[in-house]
Amino acid sequence: MHTGGPTPYTAPAADGSDGFVGRRRELAQLRADIGRAGPHTRAGRPAPRGRVLLIAGRPGSGRTALAEELVRQVAADHPDGVLRARLTDPDGTPVPTERTARDLLRALGRPAPAGAEGDELAGALRAALAGRRALLLLDEVAGPEQVKDLLPDGRDCLVLAVSRGPLTGVPDVRPCVLDGLDTDSAVALLARCAGETPRVTVDPRAAECLVEACGGRPAALVLVGGWLAAHPTASVAEAVRRFGDLPDTLPGETESAGSRGPAGRVPRPRTHPAPAARPLVRALLLVHDSLPPSIARTLRLLALAPAGLVDAHTTAALAGCPMDAAAATLEGFVRLGLLRTTVVPGQYEVPGCLAPLLAVLVRESESPAEVRLARARMLERAVRLLKSCRAAAEPPGSPARKEMAGLPRALRFATSPAAAAWLDSRLPALRAAAAAAVDDGELDTLARRLVAALIRALSAHLGPEEAAPELYRLHELLSTVTGRRGLYGEHAAALLALGDLDARAGRPRKALTRHRAALEAARAAGGRGTGAAVRAMESLGDTYAGLGDRPRATDWYGRALALCQTRGDLVAEARLHGRIGAEHLGEGEWEEALRAWRAAAAACRRLKDGRGYARALEEVARAQERAGRVEEAARTRREALRWARRLGDELPGRATRGELT
């Protein structure tokens, strides 16, 4: 079971093993901590929750790789699966607990109610994990509250947290603090990443110097090893020399400027050796400065990838290059240790330790206009892919499928299942792209198009009910951007959708607030918002009816009806007359109900809607019976039966709100 992002990349071993190097002592400690008795057990009481293990270390220390290796070793003890979630976004923003809980529930096959928040989501997650033997890997934890809110109640679940520092306040957490690899393991990792040439083994002293310069940090060693693999004629001693000449700060960080070096970058003079705490900066610069300018620019632009997830489409759009070139570039970045593979074929992740460094490089190397253009190309590509994905759900020969056939091959989906699989695998990145575009505010038109396209694609492939949790968040984004731009008609539609989702999720008071806000937006839109105003009034009536407040429901239906009559909308008139009649029947107001249902029947007859007319007549007969007009009711019911038989139907049942037309 998998959620919340990709599984990390581990450098492949030459012997075909899993590629994990070293950390035997730490692994033994963690495995021992799983079975070690906690304070409750020692006191003779059952533990209230499962064990929480913590792997703490600085970015680049190999903490996630260690966590994944432990998961691999103990997964068999947790037959209900492994759940993964990353709790910090690539830009360093902590992920809200609500979002993590929603994603975990979705992975468990129990989507959260649309619009659910905080404690409700945490409670739903604990209920879903009750009785399960599952393992939760929480990567990039920003703070203890994130973990405490997600802790399962069951004692059989294991939580493995990965964080920079301690998790004060989490009960009975067992920390394992990482530093650099030991020398032998670090040299082995360097040799593995450097490729088949024996350069590392024939010059052990230089290899040890390089390991020491890297502080034994796996992320730096992987990058330097990738550089050696890409430069087969370079010696380890040369790598040591180049590494030592590099600054430990990035361009744009506070440091005195120096002369421009041979690679075109501005090195910074130092009066003392760079601290071992920042070897990752040097390793990244070593690789970055060795790349051709166009490839280096592509690498920098990956900092703009939503959720740190990239594929050939995203890369081609950001860099403005062909798809095949983008795919080849991404594979090259994997070999250099700049990207990690994921469980999704063709999708890669920017390592969390590199994402902030690339963000600095792109700010210093690219102008704001170039960054905006790259982001616009990426969003436009996503919109086109989503439109194609939506079209793939249509039947063959439909206008949407014909339009999709005219797109470039790279933007087409062969089958509807293929489109649905793509949508599911890319959903985290698409969701992040939509949220970032709305938050940014510079590309609102593209943001609106992206959110709307994602809403349509999810509705087409998942259906309104299954997609409701995702649709709720997307309509919130759409409401934000349309309200900001003064697009009152679209703003009203987004608020109406949110109100309807709130009503279906059992939050009528919140639904009323949304529907009233939608009505105000529709009125601000003037004549163009009349349809939305009718919908808002009708929705207000529906919500009050659900609350049992029939007088208010009738009042709102009446307001909507009056507006429909000014527009000549017979379909809405018939429906609203029926809803008003249903409320009067419920109140025991037979004469008022009779008038409303007769008006509904008349509207259906003008529409030449025979079935609607027959259903309305049945309700007229029902009102006549309640009013004591038994003979009239019998005649009306016979007429309804004749209409039903004429249409080949059985005697129509009693209509309910919304069934007419």
User: Which position has the token pair 């987004």?
Assistant: 494
Compare 85 and 264 and report the one with higher pLDDT. 85
Nearest Cα to Cα of residue 9 among 433, 347, 355: 347
Share of the chain above pLDDT 70, in %: 89
Is residue 137 within 8 A of residue 5, CB to CB? The reply is no
> 42: burial class by Cβ within 10 Å (0-12, 13-18, 19+)?
exposed
Note whether residue 460 is domain-resident: yes
| Same domain as 204, residue 163 | no
Note whether residue 558 is domain-resident: no
Nearest Cα to Cα of residue 472 among 121, 156, 57: 121
Strand arrangement, sheet containing 82-86: 82-86, 135-141, 158-163, 51-56, 173-177
Residue where a domain terminates, one of 366, 398, 413:
366
| Same domain as 187, residue 96 | no
The token duo for 153 is 């109640």
| Same domain as 154, residue 36 | yes
Nearest Cα to Cα of residue 228 among 211, 215, 247, 212: 211
In which band, very low, low, confident or very high, does the pLDDT at 249 lie, cut at 50, 70 and 90?
Answer: confident
Contacts of 127 (CB under 8 A, 6+ apart): none
What pLDDT does residue 656 have? 44
Helices 118-129 and 97-107 meet at what angle, rounded to 10? Answer: 30
Note whether residue 566 is domain-resident: no
| Same domain as 326, residue 428 | no
Q: Write the pLDDT tens digit of every residue in 348-397.
A: 999 989 999 999 999 999 999 999 999 999 999 999 999 999 999 998 88
In which band, very low, low, confident or very high, does the pLDDT at 269 lie, cut at 50, 70 and 90?
Answer: very low
CA angle in degrees (0–180, nearest 5) for 283-288-291? 135
Note whether residue 219 is domain-resident: yes
Average pLDDT of span 166-175:
86
| Same domain as 86, residue 105 | yes
Return the bridge partners of 94, or none.
88
pLDDT at 654 over 90: no
Nearest Cα to Cα of residue 17 among 227, 188, 236: 188
Residue where a domain terminates, one of 346, 366, 386:
366
CA dihedral 467, 472, 478, 481 (to 10 degrees): -150
Nearest Cα to Cα of residue 95 among 450, 431, 343: 431
pLDDT at 659 over 90: no
CA distances from 468 to 109, 111, 384, 390 (A): 14, 9, 23, 17
pLDDT at 318 over 80: yes
Nearest Cα to Cα of residue 329 among 355, 358, 296: 296
The token duo for 598 is 């007769």
Q: Residue 325: which CATH number? A: 1.10.10.10
In which band, very low, low, confident or very high, does the pLDDT at 418 lie, cut at 50, 70 and 90?
Answer: very high
Q: Residue 658: which CATH number? A: 1.25.40.10
Q: CA–CA separation, 84 vs 79, rounded Å?
A: 15
Is residue 309 within 8 A of residue 342, CB to CB? The reply is yes
| Same domain as 359, residue 386 | no
What pLDDT does residue 1 have? 42
Average pLDDT of span 573-579:
94
Nearest Cα to Cα of residue 472 among 510, 422, 440: 510
Note whether residue 125 is domain-resident: yes
Q: Write the pLDDT tens digit of every residue in 178-222.
A: 988 999 999 999 999 988 778 888 888 999 999 999 999 999 999
DSSP summary character for residue 550: H
Q: Residue 166: which CATH number? A: 3.40.50.300
Q: Would you tell me how many other CB atoms lie within 10 Å of the CB of residue 201?
A: 13
| Same domain as 660, residue 601 | yes
- What is the chain's alpha carbon radius of gyration, rounded to the nearest angstrom? 31
What pLDDT does residue 273 have? 35
pLDDT at 276 over 50: no
Is residue 458 within 8 A of residue 423, CB to CB? The reply is yes
Note whether residue 261 is domain-resident: no
Note whether residue 263 is domain-resident: no
Contacts of 360 (CB under 8 A, 6+ apart): 250, 251, 252, 253
Looking at the structure of the chain, the number of domains it has is 5
> 2: burial class by Cβ within 10 Å (0-12, 13-18, 19+)?
middle
Q: Write the pLDDT tens digit of every residue in 117-135.
A: 888 888 888 888 888 899 9
Amino acid at 432: A
Is residue 189 within 8 A of residue 221, CB to CB? The reply is yes
Write phi, then psi, for 495 (nearest 5 degrees).
-65, -35
| Same domain as 61, residue 192 | no
| Same domain as 307, residue 189 | no
| Same domain as 165, residue 46 | yes
| Same domain as 240, residue 140 | no
Q: Which domain holds residue 444?
A: 375-485
Q: What secondary structure does DSSP assign to 82-103, as a single string?
A: EEEEE-B-TTSPBPPHHHHHHH
Is residue 559 within 8 A of residue 534, CB to CB? The reply is no
What pLDDT does residue 494 have? 96
User: Which position has the token pair 């616009």?
Assistant: 376
Residue where a domain terminates, one of 485, 505, 532:
485
| Same domain as 280, residue 198 | yes
Average pLDDT of span 390-410:
87
* 3-class state of residue 341 by DSSP: strand
Q: Would you tell me how many other CB atoms lie within 10 Å of the CB of residue 164?
A: 14
Pairing of strands 135-141, 309-310: unpaired
Enumerate the H helices of 39-135 as residue ranges: 39-42, 63-74, 97-107, 118-129
Amino acid at 291: L
Q: Write the pLDDT tens digit of every residue in 31-85.
A: 998 877 554 444 444 455 678 999 999 988 999 999 999 999 999 898 988 999 9
Q: Which of 110-119, 325-334, 516-525 has the weakest average pLDDT?
A: 110-119
The chain-wide mean pLDDT, for the chain, equals: 86
The token duo for 391 is 């079209």
What pLDDT does residue 51 have? 86
Q: CA–CA separation, 51 vs 631, rounded Å?
A: 75
Note whether residue 36 is domain-resident: yes
* 3-class state of residue 615 by DSSP: helix
Backbone φ/ψ region at 522: left (φ over 0), alpha (ψ -120 to 50), beta: alpha
